[in-house]
Structures are given as C-alpha cells and as structure tokens.
A and B are shown apart, each in its own frame.
Chain A
Amino acid sequence: MATQSNEYSSLMDPASERAKRGAFVFFMLFNFILFAAFLMERWMYGGYGHAPAALNTGLGAGMLVIVLLSIVLTVMTRKRLDAGDDTGATGNLALLMLAPILLIVGTVYSWTELPIGSPFGGVFDLNGIWFVLQFALTALAILASFLKGKRAPERAKRERWVVYNVTSYWLMLAVLWVGFFLDYYVA
C-alpha cells in the first residue's frame, strides 16, 4: 500500500460547499427534465381525456398530503442547518425518511388500479416506477445522512453540503410529485 493515511482526501477533493451545492443543481436539472418528459408523455401517450375513473383519487390525495407535509419538514430542516443546528437537523431526517417510504408503498399499491396495457395505465405505471426508484435512492441518501450525523458528527460537520443536497433533491422530488398529481389525477 502506498499510503494508509487520509491526509490527501480533503486536498484532492477541493470543491467548496458553494461549488458542491451549485454543481448539484445541474444534476437536479437533468432529473427534472427527465420527469418533465414523463409528465408530457402523459398527454402524448395517455390521451387528451380525463384520467380514467378507476384511478383511486383518494389514495392520490393521501399521498399528496404526505408530500406537502414532507415539504414543510424539509424547509424546517434547512432552516436548522442554516442556523448551524446540525443535531436538530439530523433528528428531522429520521422523520423525513418516512415520506419516501410511505410514498413507495402508496405508488406500488396504485399500480393495481389501471391495466398496464392501456395507454394511460402504461405511462402512469412507468412514471410511478421511476418515482419509486428515485424515492428509494433518496430514502437511502437520507438514511446515510442521518447515520453519518449520528455516528461521525465531526465528519458530517465538514461535509454539510451532503445534507443540503439530499434535502434539495427531496424538495425537487416532492415538487415533481405535486406536478405528477396535478398531471395524472386532476387534469
């Protein structure tokens, strides 16, 4: 082994917090466009009519409430981060992790409502799969930030951009899900 020490790790990862958070916006932009494409494809492939009656609007509304609550929680978490209250923010993350998990359950449950072979059902389910994938990854990222805050608070303090980016990403997903609700359930 050339070296066992980690003295180079920060030297060779020189991006500032501003750079890490700023560059992450490009990553989010990519995913945002991807979802936007799906939201448009609801019209391209799902037809111009209203959503099929078989769609469970109650379930959708329930999920919307969770999403809206999680947005409030995320904003509170970011406030605490801004104020330097890292322990408080870490505590919020445990609760925030519930949101993607509940949404995964809800989305998976909603797949049984429409036949996947129908144009609307197909694009609805496929969009849902993509959301589930992103929810799962975000849940893992939130868990990672939470555990890092608990197990290695010193390191977490040096890498606060991680929590910022994870919460930013969740905010984007939540906003997109509201768009999904309007696009598929309401329109």
Chain B
Amino acid sequence: MNAKENLWRAFGELVVVWVIGLVIAEGLAAWMVASWPVLGSVEAHVTGDATTYLIWQTSAIFALVGGAIIYSAFRFRAKSMDDTAAPYYQRRSWKPFAITWLVVSIAINLANTIYPGMVGLEDLWGAQLQTEHNKNALLVDVTAQQWKWSFSYPKLGISDVSKLVVPVNQPIEFVLRTKDVIHDFWVPAWGIKKDVIPNEVRHLFITPTVVGSTATNPMIRVQCTMICGNGHPMMRAPVKVITPAQFKQWASANSL
C-alpha cells in the first residue's frame, strides 16, 4: 500500500494550476473575441454576443475541468506499470464533491438557458416585432432555386434581381420561398440564417447596420448553407449595403 498523501495540499496545487489555466484560456478567448469578424446587423449583435459570452464561459470550464484532468493524471501517476501497490485512498464517493458538481452543473445550465438563451431569443423576437409593425420596413422577396438566388422588392416594383441591395439601418423583412429543394438563406455578416423549405413561406427579419459590400468584405454575401446539390457551394449572391440616399437612387434606377 502506498503512503498517505495530503490531498488538501494537492488541491492547493490544483488551484494554482487553475489560476494559470484560467489566465491562459481567457487570454486566448480575449484574443479570439478581439479579432471577431464584422457584426453587420442588429441580429448579428445578439447572436454574436451569445457566441462570445459562451466562449468566455466555456474557456473557463475547459480550464477548470481540463486542468483538473491533466493535473490529477500528472500528480497522481505511478512511477511505472510495475508500480501496482494500491493507493492509500480507496473511497467510493465523497458527497461534498458530488453535490457541488451537481449543483454547479445545473446552475450553469439554468443560467445559460436564461442568458444568452432566452434573453437572446427575446432580443431577436423583439427586433422582429418592431420590424413587423414598422410601416417603413423594407420587404424583400427571396426566391431560392438550384442554384441561384433572386430578389424582388414588391413595394418598390423591382423584380428578379440577382444582387441583394439594401439600405443601412432600415429593418428588412425577407420572405423566403424555394422553387425546388431545401435551401438556407444566410448572410454571414448579418449573423442569422433560416432554412427555405418547399411548400412553406418563411420570414426572416434583419436590420443591417454596417455599410459595405461583398467586394469589400466577403462576410457580406448571401450564401446557401443547406446542401442543395451539385451547385451548392456556388449558390451565392453579392450583397451591397448602402446609405438610404444611395438606395433611393438605386431603386428608382431599377424599378420598372
């Protein structure tokens, strides 16, 4: 049998490992969040905040649990495979540890459900409600088919353009339809996506906040993200987010 060890002392060492691990993990998380790609819409801020918050959180959990795994494997290792003497401690359970674990894991889950989960959803739904009740909201009909996008602006009399041009800071309701298979409407910079399902009409509400175009930032592009056949990767459309004045000009030049 091996000698008795002071496990509280080992735990003290683990705390040191934790502190170092947390500093490294959160430092990396900070670096990752600092180099975050463009958040180009009201919705992108909601989903982006949810993602970055979870990155902070999961980095911490990784440092704590991963640190404990690595530390205990290192600290409590045997000298060799022949070192078969049983360790001093042969406990089958230790209630304080198990209960703490249970309580903490449930607490994290509940907290995550509330924020960023429900709070984020409320933000998205709130933005949607405002758009729905906004007389000035821009209506864009999006038609997906293998393998191209076409856009119509029914209120402006513009139909079937292959380039998505929208004004900045104006709420937009996208009405999504497909002619054949399932597609998915996604502008990466706008931070939200929605499947386009045959025989159904889906609505997606977005308020772009950053001026730009696919040429200046490739995150600002329409991209199909549901596998839709051979041309799936090429099923993109250029996007241009412009000022309201420019948009008015563009609309009058393109309407029938």
A and B touch in the complex (CB under 8 A): no
| Chain B contact residues, CB within 8 Å of chain A | none
Taking Cβ atoms with an 8 Å cutoff, the residues of A that contact B are: none
